[in-house]
Structure 1
Amino acid sequence: MQDVQKIVPFEGSKLSKKEQIATMFDNIAYRYDFLNHFMSMGIDIIWRKKALNYLRSIQPKTMLDVATGTGDFAIMAEKRLNPEKIVGIDISEGMLAHGREKVEKLGLSNKITLQAGDSETISFQDKTFDAITVAFGVRNFENLEKGLAEMCRVLKPGGKLVILEFSNPTVFPIKQLYNLYFRYITPLIGKWIAKSQEAYSYLPESVKAFPQGEAMKTILNNVGFQAVTCKTLSFGICSIYCATR
């Protein structure tokens, strides 16, 4: 399996993976939310709700949403969990700009703050947050272990991490249909609607290379997390990783 950290959106570019990811999301920010729901036929909303249910037992007061993008997951977390404060960080200013507009329109600026931030150098003190969430973002990290270790650092003891990420189904015929859709149809939709075939060609390649299941659980354990679990959704198209510090 190819190393996910070497999968980049723009082959031949001299920019680092982190810089390429930021550029890619800046370019597609204006269509990102629509394409997420359109290409998943709305199932991604169900996945996000299921992921947040893992945090109900701890009733978090302070939350960090890493790779927050346009703030969709942070906004849903505010509605479902009602924490006192949510901070969302992302390296794409384009995505954050759209997110801030949504937060302001919803009247949530006093509870949700979206700011520029790098998952590998999180600018908060140790043991700051009760819960940390990441939706469809960890496979874009330039250094996966470093990003996960940073999240462990800023999580309070007993706090929970919930990661929602695409995975590769193994059941026939879901696997074959999924590969066909992701490899051929997704890039065409991305080119047509978001004017970025590169971004939606990168998507299936990054999912294919990302460590999944037991491999991902091992990485989470190695960086300091405990009680790590993995729950697959929709025949393995998506996975929820839950871990405690």
Structure 2
Amino acid sequence: MKRNTSDQHVGVVQEVEKDVPKEQFVQSVFESIATKYDVMNDILSFRRHKAWRKFAMARMDMKQGENAVDICCGTCDWTLSLAEASGSGKIIGLDFSPSMLEVGRRKVNNHKLAENITLIEGNAMSLPFEDHKFDYATIGFGLRNVPDLVQVLHEMKRVVKPGGMVVCLELSKPTWQPFKGIYYFYFEKILPNLGKLFASRYEQYKWLPVSVSLFPGRDELAKIFEQVGLQHVEAHPLTGGIAALHIGIKEI
């Protein structure tokens, strides 16, 4: 009997975790693709990730002088957007991949924002910040890769001020046909081969559809936001539901 896609994805994860924990595996993936990450993002999303981030910034309505921490900041595209919107505010980018941070650091310097942005190596599961420190805590395309997304959301909620905003921009699952079928065919069959062609990485890009398949859908993630105690939760589908923006407010 042929295994369904979900069973196959669970099998991939089980094979990964027999050899190395998820956190270590994901870190090795991003270490290996760091220098090609930005180019591959443009290719694989047809540059839509830029529009998604622009939409997120508009919904956040960040004010001059406000501060933020960008969790799983990677090569710092969102970190830079936060710094540009904030102006004089201090922005911290945190990631567990030194190679991704090094690419991000070069971009920060090129944008002449080193005085506004501090980059640190750290773990999203245990943020090295005191309570009630930031106006915003953001995570872009990283929540599906952490060992425990509920723990990460609790940490993000902990470090924002009362009335502060927890924001997640993430790949999601389209729900309507025929777009859904076309999307999954591209994501599972074509995308890993594009990774092989443009970044010489096949196995690493096979992980991407697996991680999305096992991640909560848009409505389910909105409920998780509420369960961790965030209020006024918003869930916005983007580009037919292939990505989603979630926003929650810490109670005052």
TM over 0.5: yes
How much is the aligned-residue C-alpha RMSD, in angstroms? Answer: 2.1
* Displacement of 1:15: 1.9
Quick one: higher RCO (CA 8 Å, sep 6+), 1 or 2? 1
1:50 paired residue among 45, 55, 76: 55
**1:63·1:83 contact (CA, 8 Å) conserved in 2?**
no
Please give the residue correspondences for 1:76-225 in structure 2 after superposition, counting only pairs within 5 Å.
76-82=81-87, 84-225=89-230
- Once residues 6 and 84 of structure 1 are traced to their aligned partners in structure 2, the CA distance between those partners, rounded to angstroms, is 45
Q: TM-score, normalised by structure 1?
A: 0.93
**2:173·2:218 contact (CA, 8 Å) conserved in 1?**
no
- Segments of structure 2 that go 5 or more residues without pairing to the other structure are 1-5
Q: Deviations over 1:116-144 (max 9, x none)?
A: 01111000000010001111110001111
- Once residues 143 and 60 of structure 1 are traced to their aligned partners in structure 2, the CA distance between those partners, rounded to angstroms, is 32
- Segments of structure 1 that go 5 or more residues without pairing to the other structure are none
> Which segment drifts farther, 90-99 or 13-22?
13-22
Which residue number in structure 2 is paired with residue 40 of structure 1? Answer: 45
- Once residues 113 and 8 of structure 1 are traced to their aligned partners in structure 2, the CA distance between those partners, rounded to angstroms, is 34
* Displacement of 1:32: 0.0
Q: Secondary structure at the match of 2:19?
A: coil
* Displacement of 1:60: 6.2
**1:87·1:112 contact (CA, 8 Å) conserved in 2?**
yes
**2:16·2:25 contact (CA, 8 Å) conserved in 1?**
no
Q: TM-score, normalised by structure 2?
A: 0.91
> Which segment drifts farther, 106-115 or 25-34?
106-115
AA of the residue aligned to 2:57 = L
* Displacement of 1:53: 1.2
Percent of aligned positions that are identical: 35
- Once residues 114 and 48 of structure 2 are traced to their aligned partners in structure 1, the CA distance between those partners, rounded to angstroms, is 27
AA of the residue aligned to 1:22 = Q
Q: Which of these two proteins has the greater Rg computed from alpha carbons?
A: 2
Q: Deviations over 1:38-94 (max 9, x none)?
A: 111111100000011122166561100000001111112222343511101011111
* Displacement of 1:213: 2.2
1:66 paired residue among 68, 71, 75: 71
Matched residue count: 244
